[in-house]
Amino acid sequence: MLLDVNWCAAMSVLGSIFSVLYGAVLYLRRQEVLKSIDHLHGLHVILDPFSLFGQLVQIFPLVIHITVPNMYFWEHKYTTYRKFGWDIYAQTFLLPAKKVVYQIVDADAIKEMIHDKATFPKKEFFLLALYGPNVVTSGDEEAKRHRRIVAPSFSDRNNKLVWQETARIVEEMFVHWGQKETISVKHVVDITLPLALHVISAAGFGLPISWQSETESGVRDDVPSGHMMSYREAIETVCKNLYVKLLAPSWVLGLTKNWRHARLAFDELELYMTEMIESRRAEGDTLRVDEKGELYKSDVFSNLLAASDAEVTSGKGALSERELKGNIFIFLVAGHETTAHVLAFALGLLACYPDEQQKLYNHIKSVLVEDRLPVYEEMNTLTRPLAVFYEASRLYPPANSFGKFCVRDTTLAVHGADENEQRKPILIAKDSYIMIDAVGLHHNPRYWKDPEEFNPDRFMNGDWNRDALLTFSAGMRACLGRRFAETEAVAALTMIILRYKVELNPEFFKVIPGEAPRATRERLLKVKQALTLAPANLPLIFRKRE
């Protein structure tokens, strides 16, 4: 018994000594990190939030003392910068390795950093390279080659196709709704996600899908020979399970029936892409016959394949089959979820702000004097639908941040959080990461008057800072599909608001008479972080206009 007591006492002493020594190591490590950043204030915690343990501790309260909570940047927006006094602050992590990450919301410094690719390159990002390297995941030099080949695929002819397909799909949705005076929707994403998916399928891949779902029609799509599921089922399953596929090891997808089905869908989609490449190359220019362009293959995929093959003819480096698949896939991700979620937020905001919705309706009617549907040629006149889309994306940016890497000790001139504060040089340490905080930038009062307010009028003239809106990123990495997304959003918003009023759904959301629109918005538009920022639950009613 005495031996056991002595053994326990010895182990307790050893444990105490180890704890003290380990605490001392962490203290010295912290001092070293703080010295490397010239003691810039910020969030100095123990665990890297992107590490496995950093994610595991998120379930405990007071996590801010151990790591940075997942939704910290959304919940605090610009307030952290105001607290620290500058439009930049540092995050330092000690485990599993020393790491410095700067958060920045200074538009001038961001612009400087984006254009200084030698000092602030974008590192390769393999997470989204599921089917192959692409314009998003490649490093700066490789991305130039991808952009040179990919950019011409997003042509004005393709934008017209986007408009036509969006109009067709929305019309099919209206037909499905029938003569009902009101359409109750438990979560508006159940409308915007399939809408965006069908547009990207038709205008992106040249494979139109009807609005009527398999379950509603009672008829399943035919499964082609050599496949185990239809194209529509494969692409819908991939989109629903993308987050799991990106974050989970491959063996995890074999644990449940649903995940095994998802794994099959990813394999099926790759097979479909392979067949698409082969069939389009076999077609050649046989469909390019109509001088009006109606029969041209105007979808992004056909344009991309033609541009890549033209590189061979010119003696330049064409995209490999893996790179073609990688870019097709990234278009699917970027063109589907991001547009769908911003469109959902836009409809939710219009329901919270009926006066703004009336302004939008009046504007649309002023453009469409006759009782008819809008056409692509009127897009530049339909300025308010685009303003609503921009304002929704400012308040709820689909991509929260964009990362850069610093290869040498340098400085950036940054404004103070006080709007009258002059810029001063801030040390940026070698081997650190700089995160361009889109949420904080979009709420920075230096660039946006009353940044918390929903005010589409701020985009109704040219007097706004283009460098302070990062919905579509910026610089060489700016989104190639920007006009694709804008065209889809303007067409969808115009057609929906022309036919229906968008209202709060009292069946699933408590409506408080006389409540201020912003208070309603804060209760209604809760968010969650999926692959992009998404509404957690957004119940609405579509009421047919008289």
Please give the DSSP secondary-structure letter assigned to residue 66: T
Distance CA(465)–CA(106), nearest Å, equals: 12
Helix (H, G, I), strand (E, B) or coil at 293: coil
Name the β-bridge partners of 410.
Answer: 428
- Cα separations (Å) of 442 from 71, 479, 480? 16, 18, 21
212, 169, 220, 509: which is closest to 343 by C-alpha?
Answer: 169
- Cα separations (Å) of 298 from 303, 307, 371, 420? 7, 12, 29, 50
β-pairing verdict for 533-535 and 433-437 = unpaired
User: Hey, what are 236's tokens?
Assistant: 């819908």
**CA 369, 390, 82: angle at the middle one, nearest 5?**
145
**CA 461, 465, 468: angle at the middle one, nearest 5?**
135
Q: Is 479 annotated as a binding residue?
A: yes
3-state secondary structure 78-145: CHHHHHHCECEEEEEECECCCEEEEEECCHHHHHHHHHCCCCCCCCCCHHHCCCCCCCCCCCHHHHHH
> Which amino acid is located at 434 in the chain?
I
Contact 160, 300 (CB under 8 A): no
Total length of the chain: 546
> Which amino acid is located at 228 in the chain?
M
516, 519, 517, 535: which is closest to 527 by C-alpha?
Answer: 535
Distance CA(121)–CA(406), nearest Å, equals: 7
Q: In what order do the strands lie in the sheet with 540-544?
A: 182-185, 540-544, 500-504
> Which amino acid is located at 372 in the chain?
R
Q: Distance from CA of residue 133 to its chain's centroid?
A: 19
Contact 81, 87 (CB under 8 A): yes
**Helix 321-352 vs helix 231-240: angle between axes, to the nearest 10 degrees?**
70
Report CA dihedral (34, 35, 36, 37) to the nearest 10 degrees: 60
User: Hey, what are 123's tokens?
Assistant: 């590192």
Mark the binding-site residues, compressed into ranges: 479
Mark the binding-site residues for heme, compressed into ranges: 479
